[in-house]
Amino acid sequence: MKRNSFKNLTNIGYLFLHFNEISFLYNRTFQFLSKLILLHLSDNKLESNEAETFHGLDSIEEIILAGNRIKTIDSMAFNFLTTLRLLGLEYNQLVNISKSTFKNLTLLDILNLNINKIEYIHPDVFEELISLRELYIEMNYFKSMDLKLFRNLTNLESLFLSANKLSFINETIFLGLNKLKRLYISYNLLTNLNEIMFTGLFNLEDLILDNNQISFVEENSFKDLKQLKSLSLRSNLLNILSAEIFENNTDLISLDLGFNKFKEIDIKYLINLQNLILDSNQLSNFTINITTIIYLNLCGNPLVYLNYSFFESNGMIPSIATLDISFCQIESIDKDAFKIYKNLEGLDMYGNPLTFLNDSIFDGLNKLRYVRLNSTVENITKLKELNQLITFSN
């Protein structure tokens, strides 16, 4: 691309140069584009950004450099882009980010560093990003992060750290992120959660910790997370959680504890829970003492037998609309097992060694519209004839 390629385009506001073969940009390539708002350079073959590559972009708000081959960024490359609000550097080959890379970007709202090869970030690199709301640094090679890394990001609402190699997170690294709503740390190597790790995250709504190696959660780990709506601890090594762990999380709506080693679970404090996922644990018995559950997934647990009182505890019956009890080694189901679940709309019983179901098992379930069942059930034809509003599948 020639130095003066845009000399006569001084009034353009948006420039799309993605999916080309651009491998190099001269310093001041865009010097005449003082009114440019968006520059889209993704999916080219750029390997570096020089000190004055973007010189002259006095009004720029978005620069997208995703999907290039960028290995190095001059520490001055973005320093004069004081109007920048979005910077996309995902899908590149960055290894290190220098201290001054984001200096002066006080209006930056979104920074995406996903899918690079970053092993280390200087603890002061985000120091001036005081307006940042979303930070993406997933799928990199971090093993640890300095406890001061996020200290000035007081407006941060979303932080994505998944798919790194974090085996330890400093106890106070999130301290001061009072506006944080979403925190994703899945697919790392964490082994435990301590009671200080999430201290002060009073506005956190989504906490995703699946696919780690967590085997222990301290009782007060979630004590400050009173606004928490969604929590995933899926695919870890947990076999016990005390009920008191969730004592302050009464607004929780969705809880995913699938693919752990639970033999029992007590969620009595989660009085607003709607979605409960417990698939692939070791539950042989299950009772529930809250009425708000709408979606319940028990797939892959050794339940063996279901009767009338199986999901009932202390006379409290959940308002289940979708129930998954597939692959639960169930050999027999009592004819009245589901009769109290008047809101049931979907029922998955596939993959169980059932050979027969009572002809009246679905009587009174007027909202039931979908049933997944093995074709080997002897009276499946009869069940279909008696329940023509239900779609059966296998």
* Residue at 12: amino acid letter: I
Pairing state of beta strands 158-160 and 134-136? Answer: parallel
Question: Percentages helix, strand, coil for the chain, rounded to the nearest 5?
Answer: 5, 20, 80
Q: Is the pLDDT of residue 317 over 70?
A: no
Pairing state of beta strands 275-277 and 305-306? Answer: unpaired
pLDDT band at 148; cut points 50, 70, 90: very high
With respect to residue 127, please indicate whether it lies within any of the assigned structural domains.
Answer: yes
End of a domain among 141, 174, 193? 141
**HSE value, Cβ hemisphere, 13 Å, CA-based, for 303:** 29
Cα–Cα distance measured from residue 169 to residue 167, given in angstroms and rounded to the nearest whole number: 7
Cα–chain-centroid distance for residue 102?
26
Q: Give the global pTM.
A: 0.95
With respect to residue 146, please indicate whether it lies within any of the assigned structural domains.
Answer: no
As separate numbers, helices (DSSP H) first and strands (DSSP E) second, the chain gives 1, 25
* Residue at 306: amino acid letter: L
56-90 pLDDT, tens per residue? Answer: 999 999 999 999 999 999 999 999 999 999 999 99
With respect to residue 180, please indicate whether it lies within any of the assigned structural domains.
Answer: no
Mean pLDDT of 235-252: 96
**Total number of domains constituting the chain:** 2
Strand stretches in 230-372, DSSP E: 230-232, 254-256, 275-277, 295-297, 305-306, 322-324, 332-333, 346-348, 370-372
pLDDT value at residue 7: 85
Q: Which helix (H) or strand (E) holds 72?
A: strand 72-73
Cα–chain-centroid distance for residue 188?
13
Mean pLDDT of 189-214: 96
With respect to residue 243, please indicate whether it lies within any of the assigned structural domains.
Answer: no
pLDDT value at residue 11: 92
What's the token pair of residue 342? 């008047």
Length of the chain in terms of residues written: 394
With respect to residue 152, please indicate whether it lies within any of the assigned structural domains.
Answer: no
Mean pLDDT of 380-387: 95
The answer to whether residues 42 and 65 touch, using CB atoms and an 8 Å cutoff, is yes
With respect to residue 169, please indicate whether it lies within any of the assigned structural domains.
Answer: no
pLDDT value at residue 311: 62
pLDDT value at residue 316: 61
Q: Is the pLDDT of residue 306 over 80?
A: no
Mean pLDDT of 195-217: 96
Pick from 102, 115, 172: nearest CA to 142: 115
End of a domain among 92, 110, 141? 141
Pick from 104, 105, 100: nearest CA to 121: 100
pLDDT value at residue 285: 81
With respect to residue 232, please indicate whether it lies within any of the assigned structural domains.
Answer: no
User: 102: domain CATH number?
Assistant: 3.80.10.10
Q: Is the pLDDT of residue 315 over 60?
A: no
pLDDT value at residue 293: 92
The answer to whether residues 337 and 306 touch, using CB atoms and an 8 Å cutoff, is yes
End of a domain among 141, 169, 190? 141
Q: Is the pLDDT of residue 313 over 60?
A: no
Q: Which helix (H) or strand (E) holds 73?
A: strand 72-73
The answer to whether residues 342 and 365 touch, using CB atoms and an 8 Å cutoff, is yes
With respect to residue 42, please indicate whether it lies within any of the assigned structural domains.
Answer: yes
Range of the domain at 67: 1-141
Percent of the chain residues topping a pLDDT of 90? 85
342-378 pLDDT, tens per residue? Answer: 999 999 999 999 999 999 999 999 999 999 999 999 9
